[in-house]
Structure formats: structure tokens, C-alpha cells
Structure 1
Amino acid sequence: MLRLVVLISGGGSNLRALLDAAEHPDFPARVVAIGADLPADGLAHGEEYGIPTFVVPFGAFESREAWGEELLDQVRQWDADVVILSGFMRLLPPAFVEALSPNLLNTHPAYLPEFPGAHGVRDALAAGVSETGASVIVVDAGVDTGPIVAQERVPVLPDDTEARLHDRIKLVERELLVQVVLGIANHRIDLKDLT
């Protein structure tokens, strides 16, 4: 059984998709803990599903490195096979990434390497492209520059707003994440081969 720790900063919609998938007895992965960098709404999923949660508030530390050390200590307590950043909106210090990669994944609302960074959906609309996408990547030292594990295109419709497009991307992102976790658990995806 693949053990997952999921880190969030918001509502945790991708986390919810994983939790729903794991409800099926034959799904070969379980979320063993949920962490956040602030009191995120998505932590309520942990309460609903009986999964432990933890918060390591960024502002409580003197440096990004000190915060990263504490976050890593919290994550390591759960003996996770894979750590997933799911809407986690904080840059991780290099030592955290080095300690967990390649078993550290991130979801991104664009077809990388197109539109990296915090505003991928807005940037796609501003560029006037006809399609964007969703990606699951291995986290590396850059911003959305790690090896791509899976991705799928999403069309941009003429009347799309940022919110409408993002909602459609999230649907694809959730399914991609579940399929990637399934692939890792079933040994169809070897993260070490990607790095």
C-alpha cells in the first residue's frame, strides 16, 4: 500500500479526489497525513476522513530554511512513500526538495513548460492561446521545472474567465493525479527513471 502525505494551502480539491479514490478497497494508496502552511480550509477533509493533519505556519519561523526543516520533520513522521504538493502555494527550500525528490510531486494548472509559476491560468488567458492543460511533475529546485510525470491538454473557450477555465483544468488535474498515484503504486511509473 502506497503511503501518501499531501501538503495543501487552500481548499484541497485535488486532495479530496485522492481521498475519494482511496475509499475504494482496491485502490493501492492511502493518504496517511495532510499538512499545510496555514490553517487551510482543506484540512477539514482530514477530519471528515479521520486522517491526521498538521500545520507548519511559515510566518512562525525566522527563515524559509528553518520553516522547511520543521516541515520536513513533520512529513518524515508519517513514513510516506510519496509527498504530494496539492495547491501548496509556498516555495520549498532546496534542502526539503533534496531530501524527498524524486518522491515529491506537484500538480500545476498548465501544460508545462508552458505557463509556469503561480498564475498559470491567468497567463494562458493573457497569451490568447487556444489550449492550455494540467500537469503532474516531480519537484526539483526550480519553479515548475521538474520532470513531467503526466499531462493533458485542456481547450481554452472563447468566453472563458480565469475562474471558469481553472475549474475545468482542476477536473483534469484531479484525474491525472489519481492516475499518477495509481501508476506509481502499480509500478507502471518509476519516479527515479524520470530524474
Structure 2
Amino acid sequence: MAKLRVAVFASGNGTNFQALVDAAQQDRLDGASLELLVCDKAHAPVVERAKKAGVDTFVFAPKEYDSREAYEREILAELQRREIELVVLAGYMRILTPVMVDAYEGRMINIHPSLLPAFPGINAIRQALDYGVKVTGVTVHYVDGGLDSGPIIAQRLVEVLDGETESTLATRIHAVEQEVLPWVVGRIAAGSVSLDGRHVTVTTL
């Protein structure tokens, strides 16, 4: 059976990318294969993680292009050349245009550190703390043309403790992210995720 060919987009430290690498090495991705890392920062730690893991990289400098659409067309050509079937946004800090979103409709997922639709966009953990919620969490969702607005695949709760700081809450949220993202990728690779409008069904083992 052919493996699901996956590209991961990331911009920073790459802990979620590393979680996927670790899961792949432990045969926990149910047939998904990490084929490519796409990164917009040449010196981001995630690039070194990819090199150590033997995953190819496509690193680009956005300022060298006339528009977001221009560099996305180049990225898209690379994805198509490698026959990438699933794109995973894991800390990729750039807004996508229809060039990429339309090409991978229903085949692109994102992980977000809140229980969407609450606290979309940047600084979601700080937003949750400022609002005073008692629980927050992690959401993995399909990407559409809106801001963290695509159909939800999976969510996990994280309790907000008394005296919680942004740093302590972020640490616990990131730990949950590193569990749920490989699980979702594995379920997609196994053909156990179906999308019907805004409703996603995940079949568990």
C-alpha cells in the first residue's frame, strides 16, 4: 500500500514537526511519509531538525518575491513535483492565499492552541488567559480561506490552573499538540477521516 506523502510547513522551533518525525520513526503514522519541510526562515531551528531527521527542506525568503502568491506558486510547484498529498501547517506563521488553499482543499490541516472557534489568530494562549477561561486546549482543523475557521478534525481539552502563566499554560498545551497532531495525521493516512461540509468523522481503531 502506497504511503501518504506529507509536507510540513513550519517557521520556528519545530516541536510539532519533531513529534511527527518521532512518530514516523516509531511507525505511529499509519503509513504517512514525511517527504518535505517548507520553511520561510533559513535559520529556524526546525530546518536543523529536518536535516537531522533526513527530511528534505524547501527554504525560501519571502522578501525575495513580489507577492505571497508568487512564492506560493513556487512552493506549489515543488509540492506537485513531489506528489505531496497532505500539507500539515505546524507553526507556519504566514497567511496563505487561495493559490495554496484552493490547490489543497480538503488536504491541508493546521494545529491551533485553543478550542476553536474561541481565540483564533495569533496569541491564542494569551487571549484565553486574558478572557479568564477555565479550560482551553488544542484544535486540529482543515484549512479554508478564513482565519482558523476550517472544519474541526480533533480537539483536546487543557484545564487552566489557578495562578497559570502564559509560559506554564503554553508548555502544557504544546505537550498536547505533540500528541494529537501525529494521531490525526495517522488517522488521515489510514483513511479514517471523512469530511462532509463542516462535519468531520474520525474512525478510531
- TM (norm. structure 1) is 0.95
- Contact 1:56/1:70 (CA < 8 Å) preserved in 2? no
Contact 1:5 1:78 in 2 (8 A): no
| Cα distance between partner residues in 1 of 2:187 and 2:27 | 16
CA distance in 1, matches of 2:197, 2:39: 27
| Matches for 1:69-108 after TM superposition, within 5 Å | 69-108=73-112
- 1:168 maps to 172
Superposed displacement of residue 18, structure 1: 0.6
1:142 aligned to 130, 139, 146, which one? 146
Measured in 2, the distance between the counterparts of 1:18 and 1:25 equals 10
1:32 is aligned to 2:59 = no
User: Which residue of 1 is the match for residue 203 of structure 2?
Assistant: none
Q: Does the aligned pair in 1 maintain the 2:6–2:33 contact within 8 Å? A: yes
2:130 matches 1:126: yes
Greater mean deviation of Cα atoms: 24-33 or 57-66? 24-33
Letter in 2 for 1:12: G
String of CA shifts for 1:69-118, please: whole Å, max 9, x gaps: 12222222221121000000100111210001110010000000000001
Q: Are 2:59 and 1:55 aligned? A: yes
CA distance in 2, matches of 1:194, 1:20: 32
Q: Is the 8 A contact 2:28 2:182 kept in 1?
A: no
Q: What is the letter of the counterpart of residue 58 of structure 2?
A: F
Q: Which whole-Å deviations, capped at 9, do the CAs of 1:35-62 have from their partners, x for residues lacking one?
A: 1011221011111111111112211111
Q: Unpaired runs of 5+ in structure 2?
A: 199-205
> What is the percentage of aligned positions where both structures have the same residue?
39
Q: Which amino acid aligns with 1:185?
A: A
CA gap 1:194/1:49 in 2 versus in 1, 3 angstroms: farther
Distance 1:178 1:106 in 2: 12
Q: Are residue 14 (structure 1) and residue 10 (structure 2) matched?
A: no
TM-score using structure 2 length: 0.90
